[in-house]
Structure 1
Amino acid sequence: MTWTIYSTYLHLRFNKGWKGKTLVRFSIIDFICVIFTFIGVNILLPGIHSYR
């Protein structure tokens, strides 16, 4: 999921020409998703997919 989000970010930046505040907002959403992926998977969904 994280790779998909950041590949979308790169696509929007280079191919669609997004700049400025719009790209910053998308980056903040990306960062929140990465934090959830790391913390949420370890704490909220323990099991075989845990990073520990």
Structure 2
Amino acid sequence: MAGRAAEKEVFMRARAGNISVSFPTEDESRNWEERFVSKLKEGGYRVRQE
């Protein structure tokens, strides 16, 4: 990631494919990554089509 060292991408596997989420800072990325992992361990997210 040349030029984007502070930006990190979090990947999640979904039935339809991969979801890529980018965050502006490493701290924000780490915070959201911890939230995602915690939520997935609790049973995951419910996704609905609108």
TM-score surpassing 0.5? no
Larger-gyration structure (1/2): 1
Q: Which structure shows the bigger proportion of residues in strand conformation? A: 2
Normalised by the length of structure 2, the TM-score is 0.42
Calculate the TM-score normalised by the size of structure 1.
0.41
RCO comparison, higher one (Cα < 8 Å, 6+): 1
